[in-house]
């Protein structure tokens, strides 16, 4: 195996993760995955990522890019953030693509947690004579794919509750305003929205603010549609709002309670759900325990952001390793 230092491999995996983050939220139900090709001297030949479900996986995209640029013979190692798949889905197995490309060395960040395939991709590569290194930059790779890994481990979607409080401790903006947080906090909020498959809100929020629930403070994926779950027991949300939401790239549904909304969104394929609601619904979600991560923004001269994880939930990474830059789309 080429004598690459830990620093070289970690740097390569960070580049792969950074490329994958450009598509975080666009690949669901698949995870965001990045891949890097290294030359024998440790320099990076090419970087690629999985960009959308049904499209080429990161390894296949990387090999295609190298093939087009006549770089295949120069590849000394492929570094990929997730264990290469070894099964047929909408695309062929990445293990076979690596084997057929005559790749001799592979490094991966996180193992696939699916109990039906765990270790199968690595085992297939080793059976074909490919040398494998596991767990390089593992914490970042796990956070990159947090919603996918969490659902694979628990069978539940990753649910984030986002709240913002003004200086007086209120979540309600002043009359005529829709927000009171800084631009930096708005970017954070819209990055959370960008990576989400679905948004949960309440009828009170809609009637009070007529929120758009689209992504504005960061570039969005043009073809991305999100489910909008509205808790509206009394049927107060007008049809006109639902029609306008559809035109903004949302698929709205009305529910009677939280559990019904979460179960239906999960059945539709939502892995990553963001709760953006008023004080009552946000508090009810926290009290219910049906959440994974809580993000609290507090207005100040510099806004303060607190992150908490549900202590009753099994995270796909150690909470002490949490870093914002690892869990948000680039």
Active site residues: 59
Residue 273's DSSP bridge partners are 159, 198
Closest alpha carbon to 24 in 143, 106, 121, 188:
143
What is the rounded distance in angstroms from the CA atom of residue 33 to the CA atom of residue 283? 34
Q: Which two tokens stand for residue 198?
A: 């679905």
> What is the distance, to the nearest Å, from the Cα of residue 136 to the centroid of all Cα atoms in its chain?
20
Q: Which two tokens stand for residue 122?
A: 């690595």
For the beta carbon of residue 154, count every other beta carbon within 10 angstroms. 15
Q: Which residues of 298-308 are buried (b: 16+ CB within 10 A; e: fewer)?
A: bbeeebebeee
Q: Are 180 and 255 in contact (CB under 8 A)?
A: no
For the beta carbon of residue 86, count every other beta carbon within 10 angstroms. 18
Q: Are 264 and 273 in contact (CB under 8 A)?
A: no
């Amino acid at each position: 195996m080429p004598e690459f230092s830990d620093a070289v491999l970690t740097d390569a995996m960070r580049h792969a993760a950074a490329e994958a983050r450009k598509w975080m939220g666009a690949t669901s139900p698949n995870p965001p995955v990045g891949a890097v090709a290294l030359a024998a001297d440790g320099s990076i030949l090419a970087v690629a990522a999985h960009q959308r479900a049904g499209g080429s996986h990161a390894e296949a995209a990387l090999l295609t890019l190298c093939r087009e640029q006549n770089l295949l013979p120069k590849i000394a190692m492929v570094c990929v953030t997730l264990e290469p798949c070894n099964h047929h889905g909408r695309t062929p197995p990445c293990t076979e693509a690596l084997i057929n490309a005559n790749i001799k060395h592979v490094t991966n960040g996180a193992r696939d947690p699916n109990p039906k395939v765990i270790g199968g991709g690595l085992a297939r590569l080793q059976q074909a004579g490919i040398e494998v290194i596991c767990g390089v930059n593992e914490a970042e790779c796990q956070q990159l794919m947090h919603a996918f890994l969490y659902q694979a481990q628990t069978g539940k979607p990753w649910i984030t509750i986002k709240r913002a409080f003004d200086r007086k401790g209120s979540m309600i903006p002043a009359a005529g305003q829709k927000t009171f947080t800084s631009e930096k906090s708005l970017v954070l909020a819209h990055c959370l929205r960008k990576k989400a498959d679905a948004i949960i809100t309440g009828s009170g929020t809609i009637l009070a603010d007529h929120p758009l629930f689209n992504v504005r403070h960061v570039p969005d994926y043009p073809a991305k549609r999100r489910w909008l779950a509205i808790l509206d027991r009394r049927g107060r949300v007008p049809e006109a709002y639902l029609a306008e939401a559809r035109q903004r790239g949302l698929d709205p549904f009305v529910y009677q309670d939280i559990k019904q909304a979460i179960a239906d969104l999960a059945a539709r394929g939502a892995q990553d759900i963001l709760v953006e609601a008023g004080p009552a619904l946000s508090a009810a979600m926290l009290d219910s325990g049906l959440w994974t991560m809580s993000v609290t923004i507090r207005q100040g001269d510099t806004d303060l952001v607190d992150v908490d994880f549900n202590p009753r939930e099994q995270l796909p990474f150690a909470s002490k390793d949490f870093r914002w830059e690892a869990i948000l789309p680039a």
